[in-house]
Structure 1
Amino acid sequence: MSDDHAHSGPHADPAAALDDPAAVLRTGRARLRGLLASCPPAPGAGGPGREVVSQAEALLGTEAVPRSAYASWLHFAATALGHTGYADRIAAEAPRLPWRTVWAWYRPVGAYEAHPNLSGGANADVFERAGDGRRFVRVSAMWCPETWIDLGTGARSTTAPEGVTEVDEDLSPDGPWLFDPEDGPAPFTPEEWEEPLQVAPGRYLLVVARGLFLVEENRHPAQGEAQEAEEAEEPEEPEEPEEPGEAPAPAPWFADGGDGAGPLTARRLDEVFGVGNVVRVPAAGLPEALRHPATRNLLSGAGLPGFWAAGSVAFRAESDGPRPDSADGLLRLGGFDFGYCDEGEVLVDGATGAVLLRQPDATFGSGGEEPFPLCGDTEVFVRFLEGVRRHMGSCWDGHAAEGGGSGFLRSMRALDPDALDDDSSGEVWEHVFAGITELGVDGF
């Protein structure tokens, strides 16, 4: 690649330059990293190109790959991010890319999302529908409810298609395959990309901790039969891998800010905790003692997780919403089962919205009937629980660029540093967070 088209002048918008796949493919990776680094950090300061290029660079890290292979990684990043239009433009500009991504249900680097999370091992079985021969994959894991995916389109459903039976054949590749570490044509293969299912000639389904995706070998680039015949007679020299330069890859960037940015909504909590596992109470049904407007809005709108668990800790909300607990305006939201001590009652102050914990045996706090502050309000409480679910994958099977448990703790600290610094509440949250920072997917 050359740097000739990296920018059009000293005042060019670097983010806009990244939105042009043709320009990206003509630009050296070191220069691309420079463009990424010069973009403003704020959410919204860029488009799909900035998301795609920063994702590809995060995935590749220090690996040097030829231009055609780099196009494949850009195509994968765009598909995983949902930027199918950008992926199509990459494929059009680089018809000789060695492999393409047909579809991907995959957690991008730096995208702290609850789903998909296939940590701990996934079950993936291929089924075929009678009549039209259409194939589907059924996938499930400890933290992934059973999901059916159309192998042709990537469309997902929680219900099984009608008329399907499991494919009774060995789907292991019958020879060297695309990402074969010894004989495969792809110049770089992540370690976890192994043991694929060959679901069609040249098409491979890969199931990894961060999701699953279908890739295909580009056996017949769109060059025209005559040109292909000519190239077969006079093969091109192998492309030289291009070094990414000395500058580290900038962190993946997301237009919406990433890492749980944005308001809590009913749809968002349903996606994280599961439909039917969020308690919402119509405003008219909330107790009069709950006078705090923001808390009332949250409990009647976004809601509260009905059941939540990580490691040895579980939380269960009051199924009918908060109920009065004492004459001084406290209401019970639910309770923590800590696994080895008395239950911790989660309370909310009806006037201020502050969340408190009562833990009688003094494992946390001073014990007895006197509650102590747990966090600033119910929104922080929900975001802490949601944050654990969103960061599970990055803590258990994270990418090197994500920071694992330390990255998760930084994100939680940004929500309510006082709750984590206080001796009593800090100890509670340390125990809650340990479910993903210290324990593995199996709870040990």
Structure 2
Amino acid sequence: MTERDQMAGSAPEGEMFSLLSAWWRDWRRGDSQAHFVDPSGFGGAAVLKQLHHQIEGSILVDAAGRTAEEVQGEVLHRLGVDLSPGNRRQWRRGLERLGGNRLVLITNAHRAGRTRGSSEPDRVLSTTIGRLSGGKVCVLAHLTPEKLPHLSKVVFHLQSRDAAQPDWPDPVRALALAQPRLVPLRVWAELTTALGGEPVTEAVLHGVLEEFSTHLMSGELGVSFVEESLAEQLRRHTADDEIGRVDRHMANWLRRISREFRHREGWAASGPEGQYAAAGLSMHAAQADFAEWVSAEDGESGGLFESLLQDGGVMANIPQTTLMDAACRAFTGDVPGNTPVGTAVHLWSYGIVPPSQSEWAAWLHLFATARGDRALAAAVADSGVHLPWKAKWAHWRPPGGYHWRYLEPGPIDGLVELRWQGRPAVAGLYSWSSRADIWDAATGEHLAGPWNEEIPEEHHGDVSWPPGEEDRPGPESVGDFEDAMSEEEEEAVHDLLLASPPLSLGNQVIFGGSGGVFAIEPAEGETYSGLNFPDFEPFSGSYAFTTAITPADSPPPSPSDLAELYGADRIRSFPPHRLPEGLTDDPTRRTLIDFGLPEMSNEDGLGIYPYGDHRMGIFDEVPWPSEIASVEETGPFFQIGFWMGGKLTIDGPTGHILRIPSEPGEEHLAGLPAAHSLEDFLTMVALWVTGHLTKGLIEGDDEANLLPDHVLAAHKRLDRVGAEAPAWAYGFYSH
């Protein structure tokens, strides 16, 4: 008998209560999670309700229809943990302070989420329960067999008999294939058509409702099953290709008729059908793509969900959490950062969860503007959703942004109104380095700077204070700007992202923070009332990892990015006669002649010296040390710099770039080729330097932890083997 078997129990419903009661009576800390498997999907909930009434101090939370975040928040609230704004982040400490052992009973974990295909059950079972359990808290979760996590230790099985399946008509079977569980009559008719292939009238559906009134119920908002377990059984007995076909049909149909749902507060406010579309369209598309991916021999999917992500008019109407939930089903790897779902994930990680569809759409517009994606921004603005504000201009690295263009202007922690040659302007300040930049307030055009400490004398006449302050001496230093900031203690909009108090200037509001500066314009006739969102760290963690966010019009990475980072004057090209004869690889020679090498000194351990330095001459031929494990490349090796103490070289015959270890025992920085061509190596250097510079701009832990993955992914697109050279990653984790 295995350890798992020893800690498991199996009993019919009439005996399960006694089994669970005995288990809790003998419970000892350590086994902090238990799972109650219920093949029927509903009988176990009644057992846990009975257990809750019997066990003093236990709490019972129904996960059906809820997100993992909502489940965890409800559990903590019921346990008496203080979740007020000042104490919310200390919820773990609140659990530690509980007076005695507490049993948390979660029913219907398999039904978490707004849709039947939701990823929320997985989040509840893999993340929420793990975060809540331990110490004085034990969590017992009710679920169906297919949702049981792998390697679960304490498992109770509710015995049930397989009931014979009646021959249900297509309308009932189709209703089970809806994503949201409440289905308007018109949507039900389309589901039936998608499944059976023949149109069905609403009169026929009313007849089905009457015939199966013990199983189906209807109301003003739509039709649903009396007991969701019947829908689950029907889905289990429907072929995967049928479910996938219905999902694809419904996604296309809902998108086609979506203009009928236009409403200033989003589709969901237009009525029951709009509610279904807002909650279900993205999941229908995601599940259709996943079904096609599973069945396709080449692993390709139809791209229905990705097509939705390109439609700003649709995205503005789908709630943030709904979109992230669907993305977890649509993608088997990282979700694409340069899409609205990337926006959703990064805002979520910073605790920005706009409370209304209108506010969410406005944030989408801002991210699109920051990326320079004019088409997406225009589509969001034309979505029918009323945007309380729109982005007017942006010089801002959005969360998740990883590109050399996002390195400027850098962090801003103060904003001051001024005049530049008479026109309204704003100074963005960074007090730590006493730096200032000047932008045109209306257009965002960069006018001057960056200045450090002093304003250049030739610009003293260009800068003046706004009307009403003409009697003050004109600013001559960055310190004068700092002195002009309001003495009133205004709170940051967001401690990590938008640390500067906002500046109202005319009909717009300007914001500064770790990513730079941007301006918004409130809707016509409305007064700015703040960027409305609850600023808190989500209990349940991130929904997914994303790829990096990059400017919409940015070309593929190339060595020329080094000129953008360091300036063209820091790049040295070489005439053919300056190249060593032993450097015979033609692509390498062309790169050195046409582009050259950047002059960079000790960038996180990497230095390239196109003019040589006191330790080396450019293209010095160096031997591979006999005491260092040999590599496939045979040399001659020509030195171009140093990397983590070792010599950075080009292999003459192949053009491979290698780091020669400085001494034996450096397996963690071994001589694996860092790239198989000089062109790719220089591109990888630019990406690597951009990553290190971006690291200094990031305030959030989740984003900081993700950044090395962005660099690695960008490197792998160039050279999958070279990207694995340990020296690339060493600098990100060594300090």
Task: Please report the TM-score for the alignment, with normalisation by the length of structure 2.
Answer: 0.43
Structure 2: how far apart are the matches of 1:196 and 1:166? 22
Contact 2:440 2:446 in 1 (8 A): yes
Question: Structure 1 4/218 Cα, relative in aligned 2: closer, same or farther at 3 Å?
Answer: same
The aligned residue for residue 51 of structure 1 is 339
2:317 to 16, 26, 38: 26
1:105 to 395, 399, 422: 395
2:637 to 314, 323, 330: 330
The aligned residue for residue 674 of structure 2 is 375
Structure 2: how far apart are the matches of 1:110 and 1:283? 42
Question: Structure 1 38/262 Cα, relative in aligned 2: closer, same or farther at 3 Å?
Answer: farther
> How far does the alpha carbon of each residue in 1:115-150 deviate from its partner, in whole angstroms, 9 at most, with x for none?
32677877877652224x242546679999986543
1:317 to 597, 609, 614: 609
Structure 1: how far apart are the matches of 2:603 and 2:657? 20
Question: Structure 1 249/13 Cα, relative in aligned 2: closer, same or farther at 3 Å?
Answer: same
Moved more, 294-303 or 165-174: 165-174
The aligned residue for residue 74 of structure 1 is 364
Moved more, 105-114 or 319-328: 319-328
Aligned residues: 390
Q: What is the letter of the counterpart of residue 325 of structure 1?
A: E
> How far does the alpha carbon of each residue in 1:80-99 deviate from its partner, in whole angstroms, 9 at most, with x for none?
11113322332344674333
> How far does the alpha carbon of each residue in 1:361-408 deviate from its partner, in whole angstroms, 9 at most, with x for none?
x48869xxxx96663443454355323322225534254245246536
Q: What is the letter of the counterpart of residue 368 of structure 2?
A: A
SS of residue paired to 1:220? coil
Question: Structure 1 34/284 Cα, relative in aligned 2: closer, same or farther at 3 Å?
Answer: farther
Structure 2: how far apart are the matches of 1:141 and 1:283? 48
Question: Structure 1 318/303 Cα, relative in aligned 2: closer, same or farther at 3 Å?
Answer: closer
Structure 1: how far apart are the matches of 2:648 and 2:366? 44
Structure 2: how far apart are the matches of 1:359 and 1:166? 57
Q: What is the letter of the counterpart of residue 264 of structure 1?
A: S
SS of residue paired to 1:325? strand
Q: Write out aligned runs for 1:193-232 (5 A).
A: 193-196=498-501, 198=503, 200-201=505-506, 203-218=508-523, 220-221=525-526
Residue ranges of structure 2 left out of the alignment (5+ in a row) = 1-267, 269-274, 289-302, 451-457, 466-474, 476-480, 624-634
> What's the CA shift for 1:73?
1.0
- Structure 1 residue 388 corresponds to structure 2 residue 688: yes
Q: What is the letter of the counterpart of residue 352 of structure 1?
A: T
- Structure 1 residue 16 corresponds to structure 2 residue 307: yes
Contact 2:316 2:385 in 1 (8 A): no
Instruction: Write 1 or 2 for the structure with the bigger share of helix.
Output: 2
Structure 1: how far apart are the matches of 2:522 and 2:551? 34
The aligned residue for residue 233 of structure 1 is none
- Structure 1 residue 348 corresponds to structure 2 residue 657: no
Question: Structure 1 26/270 Cα, relative in aligned 2: closer, same or farther at 3 Å?
Answer: same
SS of residue paired to 2:568? coil
Question: Structure 1 143/335 Cα, relative in aligned 2: closer, same or farther at 3 Å?
Answer: farther
Structure 1: how far apart are the matches of 2:388 and 2:594? 48
Question: Structure 1 125/174 Cα, relative in aligned 2: closer, same or farther at 3 Å?
Answer: closer
The aligned residue for residue 277 of structure 2 is 4
Structure 2: how far apart are the matches of 1:38 and 1:349? 45
Q: Write out aligned runs for 1:163-174 (5 A).
A: 164-165=462-463, 167=465, 172=485
- Structure 1 residue 294 corresponds to structure 2 residue 587: yes
Question: Structure 1 284/166 Cα, relative in aligned 2: closer, same or farther at 3 Å?
Answer: farther
The aligned residue for residue 348 of structure 2 is 60
Q: What is the letter of the counterpart of residue 375 of structure 1?
A: A
Structure 1: how far apart are the matches of 2:380 and 2:512? 24
Structure 2: how far apart are the matches of 1:278 and 1:402? 30
SS of residue paired to 1:110? coil
Moved more, 121-130 or 285-294: 121-130
Structure 2: how far apart are the matches of 1:271 and 1:157? 19
> How far does the alpha carbon of each residue in 1:54-95 deviate from its partner, in whole angstroms, 9 at most, with x for none?
213421346352112112211111111111332233234467
> How far does the alpha carbon of each residue in 1:319-358 deviate from its partner, in whole angstroms, 9 at most, with x for none?
389535269633221345x6xxxx6442212112233445
Q: Write out aligned runs for 1:120-139 (5 A).
A: 128-131=419-422, 133-137=423-427
Structure 2: how far apart are the matches of 1:29 and 1:130? 43
Q: What is the letter of the counterpart of residue 55 of structure 1?
A: T
Structure 2: how far apart are the matches of 1:358 and 1:38? 45
Moved more, 199-208 or 160-169: 160-169
Question: Structure 1 352/405 Cα, relative in aligned 2: closer, same or farther at 3 Å?
Answer: same
RCO (CA 8 Å, sep 6+): is it higher in 1 or 2? 1
> What's the CA shift for 1:257?
11
Q: Write out aligned runs for 1:253-264 (5 A).
A: 262-264=556-558
The aligned residue for residue 234 of structure 1 is none
Structure 1: how far apart are the matches of 2:398 and 2:326? 21
> How far does the alpha carbon of each residue in 1:141-171 deviate from its partner, in whole angstroms, 9 at most, with x for none?
9999986543322234777897521545776
Structure 1: how far apart are the matches of 2:594 and 2:311? 40
- The higher radius of gyration belongs to 2
- Structure 1 residue 304 corresponds to structure 2 residue 597: yes
The aligned residue for residue 497 of structure 2 is 192
Moved more, 20-29 or 412-421: 412-421
Contact 1:291 1:350 in 2 (8 A): yes
The aligned residue for residue 20 of structure 2 is none
SS of residue paired to 2:686? helix
